[in-house]
Structure 1
Amino acid sequence: MLQASLVSADPAAQDPETAARVAAEGVAIGSNAGAGGDPQTSVAQPVFSAGRAAEVTTSFQPLLGPAGDPGGYRAFLQSRGITFGLIGVAETYRSLRGGLRRGETGLTLLDLDVDVDLDTFAGWSGATAHATVYQIQGSGTSRSRVGNLLTVSEIEALPASRLSELWLEQSLFDERLFLRVGQLSADTEYMVSQTGILFTNGTFGWPGIFAANMTDGGPAYPLSAPTLRVKYVPTPELSFQASLIDGTPGGGNPRSGIDPQRRNPNGTRFPLSDPPLAIAEASYAYNTAPGAPGQPGTVTLGGWRRFGRVDALTPDPVSGLGRRVSGDSSVYGVIDQTVYQEPDDPNDGASVFLRASASPGDRNLVDLYLDGGIAYRGLLPGRSDDTLGLAVAVARIAPAARRLDAIAAAQGTGPAPRRSAETVLEATYQAVLAPGIAVQPTVQYVIHPGGGIANPRDPEGKRVRDATVLGLRAITRY
């Protein structure tokens, strides 16, 4: 999960969707929009996330004084409608026990975002443009150490300099309808939890069921895809959005066995001829008005459909050969709920989230997914911006895949574990050290990595052992 633009605390300088929501009376806690562009209803939404799923108002530029904007170029560009932001993420993980093998890995991500208000820049009313570029270095813990489905780090990817997003948006009807076209990522707008973006495991952003079942892992970090997105916001509390996306973000032949990040190494392939992927979602924020009788929350329902033909897990009953079936799909729901606000500071308190998704079990590795957790912002005295969280996610291996494991065990000469489900638990604490600077230690425990796959490094073919992983992340924003 990694997208959505940096914004100013001034609503007039925000993107049209955020500005429309912030300008509406009583739609958010404080002045921030929530993750995914919805009104903020999670009091524990973190100040930082590794990507741009939450609107952000902090930067370390003021700490540098005049050196924060050498030559005044940033202010000059902003006066002409051009704003940019830099997000730097550096992290290290150590696999202490279990998994494929023990050891350390390190990752760095530099994220450059550029936004252009085309009204200010060129007199084009209601239009904005955006671009995102990544520079990724290092190696991932899930690939090289743990072997699990629910990726330990949300920024894990192959080293590359990559164009992520490049799009144009037009707002219409008093900023109630938004049309966006270009290369987009879906992981910051669909099935996003305002509380869940605190956590470092990738599944709490783009859920593991989407990454496992969609072609090439879906249009999510680090891959994007050509997209047409429509968003309608009839009231500040209610929104509808839908996207039509090229269904193969890596381009080329997804059955070739080549990693999609290698098929589209720099994000400039722009595939347009593949069967499309359609995603739609509706969100409703409640108890957002001042003096509302209950705590604020958001409920979201959605689903996706992949057109064209996909491989089934079960063979043809007559020929016994592999077969292709028509399309793939999933439905999902999300609840974000503030459960407690501190009486002396309503911007501190606790929030919970719950997400669930299901897909057909005859053509998908994962047929059922569930995650949830709790986060508390400002728990420690004098640390109002710090956030403590605990979350759990479960991805169930589909029955058809488990039957294939049983067949392989019966036909093989050695042990072949039958997969069941993968579970990950994460505890994390995000400490904000200064405007635009944060560190975040985390500990994850992975139960049955890969759902309980055999360890290729074990001569007896035993399961990959449960893994314990410690991590430390540093985030800076300019």
Structure 2
Amino acid sequence: MTVTTMGGRRLALLGLAFGAALLSQPAFAQDSAWALAATYTADVAGPVSGGASQAGRFLDNLMIEGDLDLDKAIGWAGATAHLSLLNNSGGAPNDLAGTLQGINNIEVTRPRGKVYEAWLQQDFGRASVRAGLYDLNSEFYTTDASGLLIAPPFGIGSELAATGPNGPSIFPSTALGLRVRIAPSDATYIQAAAINAKAGALGDPGGVNTDFDDGVLLAAEAGWTRRGKVAVGLWRYSRDQNDIVDLDAAGLPVQRTAAGAYLLVDHPLRGAQGDIRAVAGFLRVGVSDGDTTPFKGGGQAGLLMTQVFGGRPDSALSLGVAYGGLSDKFQQTLAGGGLSAASSESTLELTYADKVAPRLSLQPSLQYVVHPGGDRDAEAAVVLALRVSIDL
């Protein structure tokens, strides 16, 4: 099996060289203008019950990120530059599990190396502007308490993740965009973004899309962050998308407005960060038009316990459930293919992570997927995974 392209190898080597060169500089003192982080993640995942077959697949993810304080570097007050390089290789465990929402958040359809994000941010007191290759999910539709879970819908709601010509500007491919954020007070914020509807970064086929022929994805979110976070968001594509079922008189897909909204709560429930067995919870609900995506909406909820054991400050335990509501039109498509269409696909995940060495963490995960693939008659899939993370 080919695990990466030649371009991916070159970008991976470039990233490693970039990181090594920066780390070798004596300027990496506490007051350095540079900040660099690199993480290698390797998973073995696959169904042990249900799915197309019971087997495991290896897959991995290398992320190298660098931030440059332009004020310290060249005297540009309030400006920051960010660059991240990403390389993914390995197999596709969801091909075995056959789910719609996925089972692993580092799985990709095309293993390769690429520039993941490259943006410039300018701060203006309580406001900031960010422009460049930008991951929407880095600041929108995100909850800290869901961050340990491995199943993809805990990262961003499936009703948004399944939109756009080739997916919105989220992992694994970003797009050119502009984000504006205003914080009227220490506990409130408003942010909006306009991002190329066609994702594509350096390393993807065709590279960065600059023609904007497919329009832009518009997103806005307002939140309160006094204790945890409560936020509401809206998103809409500027150009209509293909209806997944309806055709016009010429036999072409009817054009529909792709839009949606979400509400999220991320809140501490017991103790504070750093306390033994502190617990935080999250709840997210999203809806979409249901004409241009398989999902009419969905929701995720769960708990995160940190420092589970007093003597192990990096131990963490998380339980989450993700519900993906299938649109009537997608159910019609499934039925047309001879399946007994279910109204939803749902995932329950339990995972535990701990640092077993100064730079090494292990994380086993168990998932139980009901109606995988939206097939009412399909056996529930039981998925096991082991994640190994190394801070480089």
CA deviation profile, 1:264-286 (whole Å, cap 9, x unmatched): 34854555333111011011013
CA deviation profile, 1:279-322 (whole Å, cap 9, x unmatched): 11011013xxxxxxxxx331010010011121123425x84945
How many Å separate the matches in 1 of 2:207 and 2:269? Answer: 41
8 Å CA contact retained: 2:243, 2:256 = no
Does the residue aligned with 1:402 lie in a helix, a strand or coil?
A: helix
Counterparts of 1:344-383 in structure 2, within 5 Å, are: 346=275, 348-383=277-312
Question: Quick one: structure 1 residues 70 and 280, their matched pair in 2 at CA, closer, same or farther if it must change by over 3 Å?
Answer: closer
Does the residue aligned with 1:134 lie in a helix, a strand or coil?
A: strand
Question: Quick one: structure 1 residues 115 and 427, their matched pair in 2 at CA, closer, same or farther if it must change by over 3 Å?
Answer: same
Find the counterpart in structure 2 of residue 438 from structure 1: 361
Find the counterpart in structure 1 of residue 222 from structure 2: 282
User: Percent sequence identity over matched residues?
Assistant: 26
Find the counterpart in structure 1 of residue 351 from structure 2: 428
8 Å CA contact retained: 2:160, 2:288 = no
Does the residue aligned with 2:147 lie in a helix, a strand or coil?
A: helix
Find the counterpart in structure 1 of residue 237 from structure 2: 306
Is 2:56 the counterpart of 1:104? yes
Matched to 1:211, the amino acid is A
Pick one of 187, 211, 214 that aligns with 2:137: 187
Does the residue aligned with 1:133 lie in a helix, a strand or coil?
A: strand
How many Å separate the matches in 1 of 2:75 and 2:287? Answer: 46
How many Å separate the matches in 1 of 2:47 and 2:178? Answer: 41
How many Å separate the matches in 1 of 2:328 and 2:277? Answer: 43
Question: Quick one: structure 1 residues 71 and 397, their matched pair in 2 at CA, closer, same or farther if it must change by over 3 Å?
Answer: closer
Pick one of 215, 228, 245 that aligns with 1:297: 228
8 Å CA contact retained: 1:248, 1:271 = no
Does the residue aligned with 2:240 lie in a helix, a strand or coil?
A: strand
Find the counterpart in structure 1 of residue 5 from structure 2: none
8 Å CA contact retained: 2:306, 2:315 = yes
Is 2:282 the counterpart of 1:331? no
How many Å separate the matches in 1 of 2:224 and 2:193? Answer: 18
Higher relative contact order (CA 8 A, sep 6+): 1
How many Å separate the matches in 1 of 2:210 and 2:351? Answer: 37
Matched to 2:267, the amino acid is Q
Does the residue aligned with 1:227 lie in a helix, a strand or coil?
A: strand
Find the counterpart in structure 2 of residue 59 from structure 1: none
Return the offset for 1:434: 3.9
Find the counterpart in structure 2 of residue 471 from structure 1: 385
Gaps of 5+ in 1: 1-68, 252-260, 287-295, 410-414, 454-462
How many Å separate the matches in 2 of 1:326 and 1:342? Answer: 46
How many Å separate the matches in 2 of 1:188 and 1:339? Answer: 24
Matched to 2:382, the amino acid is T
Matched to 1:476, the amino acid is I
How many Å separate the matches in 2 of 1:124 and 1:148? Answer: 48
Return the offset for 1:400: 2.2
CA deviation profile, 1:218-272 (whole Å, cap 9, x unmatched): 1111100000010111222111111100001149xxxxxxxxx99x348545553
Identify the range of structure 1 (128-137 vs 377-386) with the bigger mean alpha-carbon deviation. Answer: 377-386
Count of residues in correspondence between the two structures: 372
Question: Quick one: structure 1 residues 103 and 71, their matched pair in 2 at CA, closer, same or farther if it must change by over 3 Å?
Answer: closer
Matched to 2:374, the amino acid is G
Find the counterpart in structure 2 of residue 390 from structure 1: 319
**Higher-Rg member (1/2):** 1
Matched to 2:265, the amino acid is I
Question: Quick one: structure 1 residues 435 and 280, their matched pair in 2 at CA, closer, same or farther if it must change by over 3 Å?
Answer: farther
8 Å CA contact retained: 1:211, 1:217 = yes
8 Å CA contact retained: 1:163, 1:266 = no
Counterparts of 1:26-175 in structure 2, within 5 Å, are: 73-77=24-28, 80-142=32-94, 144-157=95-108, 158-172=110-124, 174=125
8 Å CA contact retained: 1:162, 1:265 = no
CA deviation profile, 1:46-105 (whole Å, cap 9, x unmatched): xxxxxxxxxxxxxxxxxxxxxxx9997244245551222111111111321111212110
Return the offset for 1:348: 4.1
Question: Quick one: structure 1 residues 397 and 389, their matched pair in 2 at CA, closer, same or farther if it must change by over 3 Å?
Answer: same
How many Å separate the matches in 2 of 1:250 and 1:165? Answer: 11
Find the counterpart in structure 2 of residue 25 from structure 1: none
Question: Quick one: structure 1 residues 342 and 80, their matched pair in 2 at CA, closer, same or farther if it must change by over 3 Å?
Answer: closer
CA deviation profile, 1:95-132 (whole Å, cap 9, x unmatched): 21111212110111111111111111111111110111
How many Å separate the matches in 1 of 2:299 and 2:40? Answer: 30
How many Å separate the matches in 1 of 2:321 and 2:236? Answer: 27
Find the counterpart in structure 2 of residue 203 from structure 1: 153
Gaps of 5+ in 2: 1-19
TM-score computed with the length of structure 2 as normaliser: 0.88
Question: Quick one: structure 1 residues 470 and 167, their matched pair in 2 at CA, closer, same or farther if it must change by over 3 Å?
Answer: same
Matched to 2:351, the amino acid is T
8 Å CA contact retained: 1:164, 1:267 = no
CA RMSD of aligned residues (A): 2.6
How many Å separate the matches in 1 of 2:113 and 2:61? Answer: 10
Pick one of 333, 341, 356 that aligns with 1:418: 341
Matched to 2:281, the amino acid is V
8 Å CA contact retained: 1:249, 1:271 = no
More strand per residue: 2
Question: Quick one: structure 1 residues 75 and 440, their matched pair in 2 at CA, closer, same or farther if it must change by over 3 Å?
Answer: farther
Find the counterpart in structure 2 of residue 341 from structure 1: 271
Does the residue aligned with 2:140 lie in a helix, a strand or coil?
A: coil
How many Å separate the matches in 1 of 2:36 and 2:55? Answer: 37
